[in-house]
Structure 1
Amino acid sequence: MSSTQNQPAITAMTIGGTDRLAADGATIDTLNPATGKVIGRFPAATKADVDSAVDAAATAFEEWRRFSPQRRQQALNAFADIIDQHQDELMHLDVAENGTPVREMRRDAQKASRQLRYFAWLSLEAKGHTVPTDWDRVNFSLRQPWGVVGKIIPFNHPLMFAAAKIAAPLAAGNAVVLKPSEFTSLSALRLGELSRGILPDGVLNVITGYGATTGDSLVRHPDVRRLAFIGSATTGRAIQRAAAEANVKNITLELGGKNPLVVFGDADIDKAVAAAQRGMNFTWQGQSCGSTSRLLVQEEVYEEFVNRLGASLDAMKQGDPADEGTDTGAIVNEPQFAKVKMYIEIGKQEGRLIAGGTVSGDEDSGGGMFVRPTLFADIDPGARLAQEEIFGPVLAATSFRDYDDALRKANDSQYGLTASVFTSDLRTAMRFARDVEAGYVWVNEVSRHVEGTAFGGYKDSGVGREEDIDELLSYTQAKNVHIVCED
């Protein structure tokens, strides 16, 4: 919380279509992780502010739910148009606040509007069906919106998640209260401003603040029956507990991942090395739940593979995220920076350092928080580096003997979000896709999300699916209607 006078102006929340500061005036300073400098301030919302946002959403819902799907479709497409018009502004907010290079943030801005358009197009698919019954009876189902939906998003894709994750609930006729991460709120707040005059007041409310206060108040609010959260498994379990203490809620959770990338000896090694680098999302500093952070390589090509990958990582350009030539930027915040540094020290005890492992601190980076893309080899499958989600640019590699050994090691995790396999044998590929415990599987590919396909995890990686029609339908409730038509 800031009390100095030489601070940036406060960027207000959007509640009921109007600017709102926190009820007690509290604010949060946001930093540029590449420089350590304060670049903005926004409200630290109280429980009273959350109550106001939910009340505004509940009021707006009564109007929005009565819009025809075509009218909602038009509004969401118009909102997507506005995002496209402000793409440069929005992506540079994310670059400055998140630390990820501008090339990636540009792609995020483009995905943000595409997801709004996709769910706008799907809005007519939130439909029921009829069931044959007696001659003088009619039985049919309806799909109706929940009402007020709470959305809590993380720091790694601020704009993309802010836009993409409100798309399905809005298309289905719900009103939304959106809470971005307290580390990256500026683009979401700007999104709230841009929605005014396009969406009815109160249909989208953007509140900012700390998870323990603002987030918890939203999770526990009795009028929020539908929730969605993206973040760590630990926080996801806490949200489940808190929500259950309030009332019965429907919750979608996209949680952590410790995702395997399995390379068999018959794979195209050139393509697999490039994919191992790309799949780890080093261009996001490894800060992605879908990162293939466990590399499993068959013994006969293991040494060649890790050495070639290490050389490729060493060639990545680290620097100013606003520079178009930068490959990898800054860690988003001090707690995450400290966590990554801790795991690098653990890695030095558990394995063999192949690439990276160096950290830039305040003295040599102008206050920026930079970690080189890092690869450790010979990591035991039960080691901390292989079991715990780091959410940073640290990749753990190990070898395997045969298919059974690869599968056992791939599934040896509490998580099950994504998995990838590289092989030239179709039978091996199909067996692995069937046997691996993950919700999204790539064969000879990594990281690509195909529009209209369901994304979500097994085990502790979450509950529910997003990015397809299942997500749209999850923001509706089914109702059955039985009518007797007497002569």
Structure 2
Amino acid sequence: MTHSTPSNPVTHADWQALAEHLTVEAGLEARAYIDDTFVDAADGATFTTLNPATGETLAEVASCDAADAETAVSVARRAFESGAWSRSSPGERKAVLLRLADLMEAHKHELALLDSLDMGKPVSSAMGDMAGAIGCIRHHAESIDKLYGEIAPTGEESLGLVLREPLGVVASIVPWNFPLMMTAWKIGPALAAGNSVILKPSEKSPLSALRLAQLTREAGLPRGVFQVLPGFGHTVGKALALSMGVDCLAFTGSTGVGKQLMQYAGQSNLKKVFLECGGKSPNLVFADCKDLDRVAEHAAAAIFHNQGEVCIAGSRLLVENSIRERFVGKVLAAAERMQPGDPLDPASFMGAMVDQTQYQRVLDYIRQGVEEGATLRAGGQALDIEGAKGLFIGPTVFDGVTDTMAIGREEIFGPVLAVFGFDTEEEAVRLANDSDYGLAAGLWSQDIDRIMRVTRRLRSGQVFVNNWADMDQTVPFGGVKQSGNGRDKSHHSLEEYSDLKTVWMTLAT
């Protein structure tokens, strides 16, 4: 980094100056990371990654395919069998991962900026993601030497031990909406448990993963333990899923792709598959809430944060009819304060949609919502942002939505809120559970009896009571139904990346 480039960017101009420095010519890496070396794809193929806020090319990135996957799996297996990482002590792995977290902390502005440029999110949001990613790596580093095995209850003539051992080679396929944070959620526990990890970042946001690879090498991860294969899901992603040498597949992304990956696991070696898939999360607001202004602010942020490109976005707002009109008015006022802007401006709440495909998908859903008879209360169109030539859509609110409308049932992955009304608690629970998904749910009420009743009845992997997504590394994250079967974060994710081994000893008597 040159002396003219701010090391601690604060203003819009600071971030713009730092962005000008992040180029391939200045050392930005866009090649695959295989066997501790940055290399071109085996066939030389590349794809273009764009800045969705400006349309400008960021880099030509190596586009890996089956040959690259085969090489990486072989390297990962060799690294695992060597024992340099897999059989190292928990304390040794802890030390390396803590060094990695420190390096991420030292380079947090650069890493956050890469995610902002690559997928359009505001830098302020990306900095929050970085805090989560660093915290995740540190949490699992600190956890690994504090988890004990088990001794089974036996008679004096036997000793039964239950040990946890790493799985082997883990392939992690991560999404584009929270590139580095989702990466940390996957690789943190997998590496801490002693596995070799192959990361396949989204082709829409690969740059921070490749920068992270440089940091893992600097942190001291043994050769071949961590590799990065940029490319497309239908090429290198499919190859990893079908590989007989991959022992576990960890995925965050759409439900449709998750189903394909489970099929590939069955067609190959029955590898473990942990999925965190789509969502259409309900946010229930009862009339007994004390501070409707606060609730409305949270309800708006629950859908408009990160441009609505969030798996747990509170995209279905269920409001008790006695306060519905008043409450929706407060949500509209909050939405007005959450308009998109230049992602490099720290004041921008929202940024650009990730690419033209997602941009058009959201606009198509908005048009369909109008055609289906929902009432458009705010937004609904593309926006032009001064000084930018990107893919911006403002906060959009539909009222009068029913459970037969596409905007009320299907995951849009954009800043589109669907408002439903209800009269009774029973109706609210029925509407909330009437979904293929079960990733998250919110509940706002001051009635503790109602809270206990409703939280137990909601079919969801996580329920937020009088908040939305206020959680940390100590609790698991994941869903039920077609939102998947895996759990990120907490000690439970470490369990997913290890196998149980029973050792039964017969003792001399």
Once superposed, what is the RMSD of the aligned Cα atoms? 1.5
Matched to 1:55, the amino acid is S
- Quote the residue 2:74 is aligned against: 55
Partner of 1:3: none
Deviation at 1:451, TM superposition (A): 2.2
Give the one of 294, 318, 326 matched to 1:271: 294
Task: Name the residue aligned to 1:384.
Answer: 406
Match status 1:25 vs 2:41: no
**Shift of residue 181 of structure 1?**
0.3
User: Which string of whole-angstrom CA distances, capped at 9 and with x for unpartnered residues, describes residues 185-238 of structure 1?
Assistant: 000011011111421111110110011001000111101111110001111001
| Amino acid across the alignment from 1:237 | K
Tell me, yes or no, if structure 1 residue 356 matches structure 2 residue 379. Answer: yes
Q: Does 1:16 align with 2:35?
A: yes
Tell me how far 1:450 sits from its aligned partner.
2.6
Deviation at 1:164, TM superposition (A): 2.8
The yes-or-no answer on 1:452 pairing with 2:474 is yes
Q: Among residues 350, 371, 382, which one is paired with 1:328 in the alignment?
A: 350
SS at match of 1:301: helix
User: What does the per-residue CA deviation read over 1:341-378, in whole Å, with 9 as the maximum and x for residues that have no partner?
Assistant: 1011011123111111121379x875300000100000
| Counterpart selection for 2:263 from 241, 249, 254 | 241
Contact 2:339-2:394 at 8 Å conserved across structures: no
Aligned counterpart for 2:457 among listed residues 435, 442, 450: 435
Query: Does structure 1 residue 483 correspond to structure 2 residue 505?
Result: yes
Instruction: Name the amino acid aligned to 2:364.
Output: M
Does residue 117 of the first structure (1) align with residue 163 of the second (2)?
no
Q: Match of 2:279?
A: 257
Superposition deviation, residue 306 in structure 1: 1.1
Matched, 1:177 2:198: yes
Q: Does the CA contact (< 8 Å) of 1:126 and 1:143 recur in 2?
A: no
Q: Any conservation in 2 of the 1:13–1:192 contact (CA below 8 Å)? A: no
Aligned-residue offset at 1:311: 2.2
CA offset digits 1:63-113 (Å, max 9, x no partner): 211110000000000000000011111111111111111111001111111
Aligned partner of 1:425 in structure 2 is: 447
Contact 1:313 1:356 in 2 (8 A): no
Displacement of 1:484:
1.5
1:67 aligns with 2:88: yes
Q: Secondary structure at the match of 1:285?
A: helix
CA-CA distance at 1:315 after TM superposition: 2.8
Residues 66-105 of structure 1 mapped to structure 2, 5 A cutoff: 66-105=87-126
Supply the distance in 2 between the matched residues of 1:389 and 1:94 (Cα, whole angstroms): 23
* Percentage of matched positions with identical amino acids: 39
Distance 1:221 1:125 in 2: 33
How many residue pairs match? The answer is 479
Partner of 2:149: 128
The residue matched to 2:33 in structure 1 has which SS?
strand
CA distance in 1, matches of 2:384, 2:347: 22
Please give the per-residue CA displacement for 1:411-467, whole angstroms capped at 9, x wherever unaligned. 110000000011111111111110001010011110222321111111000012221
Structure 2 residues without counterparts, runs of 5 or longer: 1-22
Displacement after TM superposition at 1:271 (Å): 1.9
1:43 counterpart = 2:66: no
SS at match of 2:340: coil
Q: Cα deviations across residues 260-284 of structure 1 (Å, max 9, x unaligned)?
A: 000111113112101111211x130
My pick for the range that moved more, 255-264 or 365-374, is: 365-374
- The answer to whether structure 1 residue 346 and structure 2 residue 368 are counterparts is yes
Aligned structure 1 segments of 4 or more residues deviating by more than 6 angstroms: none
Q: Which residue of 2 aligns with 1:4?
A: none
Letter in 1 for 2:34: I
Equivalent residue letter for 1:349: E
After TM superposition, the structure 1 = structure 2 runs for residues 399-410 of structure 1, keeping only pairs within 5 Å, are 399-410=421-432
More deviation in 240-249 or 181-190? 240-249
CA contact (8 A) 1:146 1:225 kept: yes
**Local SS of the residue matching 1:168:** helix
- One-letter code of the match for 1:460? Q
Give the letter for the 1:275 counterpart. H
- For the Cα contact (< 8 Å) 1:178–1:206, is it kept in 2? yes
Do the aligned residues in 2 keep the contact of 1:311 with 1:355 (CA within 8 Å)? Answer: no
Relative to structure 1, is the Cα distance of residues 365 and 461 closer, same or farther in structure 2, using a 3 angstrom cutoff?
Answer: farther
How far apart, in 2, do the equivalents of 1:36 and 1:193 lie? Answer: 27
Give the Cα separation in 2 of the matches to 1:134 and 1:372.
68
| 3-state SS, counterpart of residue 189 of structure 2 | helix
Once residues 155 and 338 of structure 2 are traced to their aligned partners in structure 1, the CA distance between those partners, rounded to angstroms, is 69
Secondary structure of 1:57's match?
Answer: helix
Distance in structure 1 (CA, Å) of the matches to 2:167 and 2:440: 29
2:339·2:395 contact (CA, 8 Å) conserved in 1? no
Report the equivalent of 2:322.
300
- In structure 2, C-alpha distance between the alignment counterparts of 1:396 and 1:260, rounded to whole Å: 10
Give the letter aligned to residue 154 of structure 1: P
Q: Does structure 1 residue 164 correspond to structure 2 residue 185?
A: yes
Partner of 1:196 in structure 2? 217
> What is the identity, as a one-letter code, of the residue corresponding to 1:270?
D
Report the equivalent of 2:10: none
Indicate conservation of the 8 Å contact 1:92/1:102, yes or no.
yes
State the AA in 2 paired with 1:104: S
Deviations 1:239-292, CA, capped at 9 Å, x for gaps? 111111112111110000000000111113112101111211x13000000101
Q: For 2:403, what is the secondary structure of its paired residue?
A: coil
Supply the distance in 2 between the matched residues of 1:28 and 1:442 (Cα, whole angstroms).
40
Is residue 340 of structure 2 the alignment partner of residue 318 of structure 1?
yes
Q: 2:367, 2:337 → 1: CA distance? A: 22
**Is contact 2:30-2:61 (8 Å) kept?**
yes
Compute the TM-score of the two structures, normalised by the length of structure 2: 0.92
User: After alignment, is 353-362 or 247-256 more displaced?
Assistant: 353-362
Give the match for residue 398 of structure 1.
420
Q: Determine if contact 2:279/2:439 at 8 Å carries over to the other structure.
A: yes
Structure 1 runs not aligned, ≥5 long: 1-6
The worse-fitting range, judged by mean Cα deviation, of 286-295 and 155-164 is 155-164
**Residue range with higher mean Cα deviation, 137-146 or 385-394:** 137-146
CA contact (8 A) 1:36 1:367 kept: yes
Where 1:455 maps in the other structure, the secondary structure is coil
Q: Deviations over 1:319-341 (max 9, x none)?
A: 11000111111000111111101
In structure 2, what is the Cα distance between the partners aligned to 1:127 and 1:244?
A: 32
**Structure 1, 412-421 or 127-136: larger mean CA deviation:** 127-136
1-structure distance, mates of 2:331, 2:160: 60
